[in-house]
A and B are shown apart, each in its own frame.
Chain A
Amino acid sequence: AQSVTQLGSHVSVSEGALVLLRCNYSSSVPPYLFWYVQYPNQGLQLLLKYTSAATLVKGINGFEAEFKKSETSFHLTKPSAHMSDAAEYFCAVSDLNTGNQFYFGTGTSLTVIP
């Protein structure tokens, strides 16, 4: 069965510091992986996705994530946090076995300290 684990339900970083949000997945076949961001009172917006091309994926707003098969991880990073990055972040996994079904992690709330 597919699943996603996001370590750390709350992460705080200082403005300008590195952002690292962790995501580990389980999947019996090559996965497709996604990071979504949710700003207050809004729906989810796609940040980036991995679909078996380059393992380092660049997304919007300066975020990137690296697919590491050996570690079953897809951690989200940004070199320098901005106040506007404060939001909820969700990792999701899908694969052909699930027929396009998406499985979401429980989310990580990012706080940026000025």
Chain B
Amino acid sequence: GAGVSQSPSNKVTEKGKDVELRCDPISGHTALYWYRQSLGQGLEFLIYFQGNSAPDKSGLPSDRFSAERTGGSVSTLTIQRTQQEDSAVYLCASSQNQGITEAFFGQGTRLTVV
């Protein structure tokens, strides 16, 4: 597609439920990133996929968070047993392969846990 697409744009869920957030990167981009942005805060790195390499999961805040990237394209971020502190905007970005090109961001998914 023309840009990074994230779905849903908004998600309200009950505490304790599982949620899945989807990211469709720009076609041909081998790098994919997930960030979390809490209200009034900066960007918190969550996870980074680069091609077929093992993902960098160092930013995942707990074992309730996981992500996968199928076929080197679409990525899904899953949060199990959601907590109120998980409420935030989850941003996905993609970039071309190594060579240090900019990251292109999606519009984000606003997650509210009630």
Contact = CB atoms under 8 A, between A and B. Distances in A.
A44 B42 CA distance: 11
Contacts, number: 54
A100 B50 contact: yes
A104 interface: yes
A101 B46 CA distance: 12
B26 interface: no
Contacts of B79: none
Interface string A73-91: 0000000000000000010
Band of interface residues on A: 20 to 34
Contacts of B95: 100
Given A43-B105, A90-B43, A101 B56 contact: yes
Interface of A: 32, 34, 36, 42-46, 49, 51, 90, 92, 94-96, 99-107
